[in-house]
Amino acid sequence: MDESAQSEHLNCILSNPVFAGLPALAAADVLAVSRLRSIAAGGVLVAQGATADRFGILLRGRARMTQLTSDGRQIALRYLVAGQEFGLIAALPDMVYPVTIEAVDDCQVLCWAGGRLAELFLRYPQIGLNALRIMVIRNQELQARYRQQLTERVEQRLARALLRLVTIAGEDIPQGRLINLPLAREDLAELIGATLFTVSRTLSQWEQSGIVCSGRERIAICHLDALEEIAGEPEPLPSECVAPCALAELLTAKRAALAT
Amino acid sequence: MDESAQSEHLNCILSNPVFAGLPALAAADVLAVSRLRSIAAGGVLVAQGATADRFGILLRGRARMTQLTSDGRQIALRYLVAGQEFGLIAALPDMVYPVTIEAVDDCQVLCWAGGRLAELFLRYPQIGLNALRIMVIRNQELQARYRQQLTERVEQRLARALLRLVTIAGEDIPQGRLINLPLAREDLAELIGATLFTVSRTLSQWEQSGIVCSGRERIAICHLDALEEIAGEPEPLPSECVAPCALAELLTAKRAALAT
DNA sequence: CGAGTTGTTGAAATGACTCAATGTTAGTGG
DNA sequence: CCACTAACATTGAGTCATTTCAACAACTCG
């Protein structure tokens, strides 16, 4: 591993919420027990049902998190982009991945064996606190989506899904903002729990109103505000990668106070 | 607080997954900073939107966890029974409860101020690990329900909801197993994301087939296996209160190894 | 170029919702 | 103890969103 790559990885570690607030020395320590892996497009990062033995941070590429139903249907939970972590569950023993994560692109992953992560939890308690915060936030997001699934219809859910995708993979083009992901109608359908037919119809309708501009596996949003209008209430949470863990500071302060 | 009540509370703390694996002395310490609260039926334990400042364990009574949509509709997430904890989010600063928890019965709650919980996290790192495990498991459960919501229809979802309720509040009666909760048709509807009409119709149908036996706000299951048949795949997770946190043992072992 | 994926569109079927009418039960206060 | 009320439950008819199925068009890639 050359030096510039190493410092890039260090940056990535420091900016990821799992390792947020870690001193640089500790980050180097964390990096030391990591391994760099490359996964070709279409490969799996983690497999549903396999024992959860690996935690990772996506350095490059995009990945899709899906879940298989017992009757063979598939749903998509979300997309991962560079900088996001996955497989926190690997820190706990005797667990099984509940989802599959597949590489959409060629991906590069910085990863840790489950046992190594557990060691890091021990050496740097702050990581554990960060992990808790991440899980709490993920849970809130999922609850919000669950609620939307219960109360909203396809139009709203589709609008919301597109808005979410724009924030993680949006790219400016003349027509508006392109979602830079290979997104077939079926992929969207799996994301919102609908059929590709309904998705296609809805998109056609929006295309005619000039709200979106879609091609084969590509979708661009021309009028974000129109979509937000359809979606209704904005997502309340800043979702990903929010605030560094202030609890850690609080705790060190308390620690000092208790020591006196 | 008399002595027997105190030892009962100690038991409750020790058996709750948040404090699992804690030595008795530590549990006493945990108990020391707790406060006992009583909430009358219909009162709120935590309010959606309020700053998350309180963590608790339900000692007695049952409670309902709900979420309000911005357009005023309500969904129900789950029911809490004695022994279960809530409000782990309070350990993190600057958070807001994403749900409301209301007392179904008169409830007794052992609770901790958020700051106190943070202190406990510091003093007993195992609590943090337990918390992570709990959140991971909750997340898996929620993912499973989300998936079911996306792929299954009302009949299946209702069957599954009843099965879940039986496991947490089931009681043997001559006709079968009674769900010992005041469960209006509307409550069930909010739980599965349907209307009370559809729920009523489905239950009537099942009543005629002899699968269930329902009255006003009461439902008993006569043929569990028939419901399981309708629900399809069984819920894979042992859901609540599973395995004490083995990670803690692993970590103390590692700690010893590193010290040498 | 042909084959396979991806997308569109129509018509019919359907599950669930809405709305309204009516029945049933539990609790209240006289 | 009764009538009265409010909450809960049932049922039917009509409607709507979404799915299903089928046919076809468009695009991509070897």
Output the pLDDT for position B250: 37
Spatial distance between the Cα atoms of A168 and A180, rounded to a whole number of angstroms: 9
Q: Which nucleotide is nearest to B217 (CA to C1')?
A: D8
Which of B18, B143, B190, B230 is the best substitution to test chain A (most A C-beta atoms within 10 A)? B143
Q: Long-range contacts for A171-174 (Cβ within 8 Å, ≥24 apart)?
A: A173/A220
- Determine contact, residues B79/B99, Cβ cutoff 8 Å: no
pLDDT-derived band at B1 (thresholds 50, 70, 90) equals low
Name the nucleotide nearest A183; use CA and C1'. C6
DSSP class per residue in B84-101: -EE-GGGGSTT-B-SSEE
> What is the identity of the amino acid at B81?
V
- Full set of structural domains in chain A with CATH: 3-147 (2.60.120.10), 152-231 (1.10.10.10)
Surface-to-core class of residue B204, CB atoms within 10 Å of its CB (0-12 exposed, 13-18 middle, 19+ buried): exposed
**Average pLDDT score over residue span A228-250:** 53
Q: How far apart are CA B258 and CA B237, in angstroms?
A: 34
Q: Calculate the alpha carbon distances from B119 to A33, A137, A247, B124, B184 in Å.
A: 30, 21, 10, 9, 41
C-alpha separations of A237 from A137, A143, A165, A251 in Å? 8, 11, 15, 25
Strand D: which positions are within 7 A of a protein CB?
8-13, 17-22, 27-28
The predicted pLDDT at position B58 comes to 96
The answer to which of A22-36, A59-73, A119-133, B46-60 has the lowest mean pLDDT is: A119-133
Separation between Cα atoms, residue B154 and residue A146, nearest integer Å: 15
Q: Which amino acid is at A65?
A: M
D22 C1' – A197 CA distance, angstroms? 13
The residues close to strand D, meaning Cβ under 7 A, are: A 153-155, 193-195, 197-198, 201, 216; B 183-186, 196-197, 200-201, 203-204, 207, 214, 216-217
What are the pLDDT digits (tens) for B83-118? 999 999 999 999 999 999 999 999 999 999 999 998
The residue among B101, B106, B108, B124 whose CA lies nearest residue B14 is B124
B251·A121 Cβ contact <8 A: yes
The whole-number pLDDT of residue A1 equals 58
Minimum CA–CA partner of A116 in chain B: B254
Residue A230 confidence (pLDDT) above 90: yes
Backbone angles phi, psi at A5, to 5 degrees: -60, -40
Tokens of B114: 């958020």
Its pTM stands at: 0.88
- How far CA A155 is from CA of A80, A189, A218, B204, in Å, comes to 24, 11, 18, 32
Q: What are the residues facing A76 on neighbouring strands?
A: A66
Per the listing, tokens 């003349």 go with A174
Name the pLDDT band for A218 (thresholds 50, 70, 90).
Answer: very high
pLDDT (mean) for A29-35: 92
Give yes or no for a contact between B160 and A157, defined as CB atoms under 8 angstroms apart: no
Q: Which residue of A has its CA nearest to B118?
A: A251
- End-to-end distance of chain A based on CA atoms, in angstroms? 45
Task: With beta carbons less than 8 A apart as the criterion, state whether B138 and B195 touch.
Answer: no
pLDDT value at A114 more than 60? yes
Q: Average of pLDDT values for A127-149?
A: 93
What pLDDT is recorded for position B236?
53
pLDDT value at A121 more than 60: yes
C-beta separation of A19 from A13 below 8 A: yes
Whole-angstrom distance, CA of residue B27 vs CA of residue B9: 10
- Which nucleotide has its C1' atom closest to residue A204's CA? C8
Segment B201-216, tens digit of pLDDT: 999 999 999 999 999 9
